[in-house]
Amino acid sequence: EVQLLESGGGLEQPGGSLRLSCAASGFTFSSYAMSWVRQAAGKGLEWVSRISSSGGSTYYADSVKGRFTISRDNSKNTLYLQMNSLRAEDTAVYYCATSDYGRFQDWGQGTVVTVSS
Amino acid sequence: EIVLTQSPGTLSLSPGERATLSCRASQSVSSSYLAWYQQKPGQAPRLLIYGASSRATGIPDRFSGSGSGTDFTLTISRLEPEDFAVYYCQHYGSSPLYTFGQGTKLEIK
């Protein structure tokens, strides 16, 4: 059974940093591209970032480019999202998801990030 | 940039009825990269349909997808109580890499 477990969310001040993690199990993590998708309270889904299976290619939404960095450690079956220069508008539930073939097949349960002073 | 517009914003129906949800793209998109998701309150989204018309693993056959070009449809043939949720369409393209529609809320009438 595929399991994706996010962690690292919390309350951070504007301008601060957070590092999210997503621990994967139940599938060959190193064979799959992975993404982060976020959802502000009461709002729709927004794709944030994607990383290839090897980690060699990364992609970002314009809203986070230059501030967020996606990475992965295939030896630890873990996906990361380093979030710097946080803004109030980054407040959301952050989901990790497998993202091959143009779709998000499996999702974690999400971790809540709140940016507020 | 491709924009996906879903309609209606809210759809009020009764169990047993047929639901038709629309997703319109601002320009022609590849059907191969059009997907639909269901999201219930407090839960992560769940993949329902990919490639515009292929059901994901474990999805009941009352869910079906169709369409091409700019117009795509998700149909639920006979609504079950557990089908009342928010539905999103999504496209994979160039910039941004992934785009979601704003969602359609399917509520019990």
* pLDDT single digits (tens) A29-47: 999 999 999 999 999 999 9
Can you give the pLDDT at residue A6? 98
Cα–Cα separations (whole angstroms), residue A105 to A12, A45, B12, B46? 30, 15, 28, 8
The bridge status of strand A10-12 relative to strand A111-115 is: parallel
Work out the mean pLDDT of chain B and round it to a whole number.
97
The bridge status of strand A92-98 relative to strand B63-76 is: unpaired
Cβ-defined contact of A103 to B33 (cutoff 8 Å) = yes
Tell me which chain B residues have a C-beta less than 8 angstroms from the C-beta of A59.
Answer: 97
- The letter for the amino acid at A92 is A
Q: Tell me which residue has tokens 């693993």.
A: B57
Question: What share of chain A in percent tops pLDDT 90?
Answer: 100
Confirm if A19 and A81 have CB atoms less than 8 A apart.
yes
Tell me which chain B residues have a C-beta less than 8 angstroms from the C-beta of A62.
Answer: 96
Q: Left if phi > 0, otherwise alpha if psi is -120 to 50, otherwise beta: which for B69?
A: left
* Rounded Cα gap, residues B25 and A30, in angstroms: 33
Across-strand partners of A39? A45, A93
Which residue is closest to A103 within chain B, CA to CA? B35
Per-residue pLDDT of B12-55, as tens digits, reads 999 999 999 999 999 999 999 999 999 999 999 999 999 999 99
Over range B57-68, report the average pLDDT.
97
Confirm if B4 and B23 have CB atoms less than 8 A apart.
yes
Which residue is closest to A46 within chain B, CA to CA? B100
Which residue is closest to A108 within chain B, CA to CA? B44
Tell me which chain A residues have a C-beta less than 8 angstroms from the C-beta of B98.
Answer: 35, 37, 47, 50, 99, 102, 104
Whether omega before B81 lies within 30 degrees of 0, making that bond cis, reads no
Phi, psi of B77 (to 5 degrees): -65, -45
Taking the Cβ of residue A42 and every Cβ of chain B, the question of whether any pair is shorter than 8 Å is answered with no
Confirm if B32 and B90 have CB atoms less than 8 A apart.
no
Nearest CA-CA distance, residue B81 and chain A, Å? 22
Element (H, E) at B57: none
Q: Quick check: helix, strand or coil at residue A88?
A: helix
The bridge status of strand A18-25 relative to strand A78-83 is: antiparallel
Query: Residue A56: which residues within 8 A CB-CB, separation 6 or more?
Result: none
Taking the Cβ of residue A102 and every Cβ of chain B, the question of whether any pair is shorter than 8 Å is answered with yes
Q: Is pLDDT at A89 greater than 80 in this prediction?
A: yes
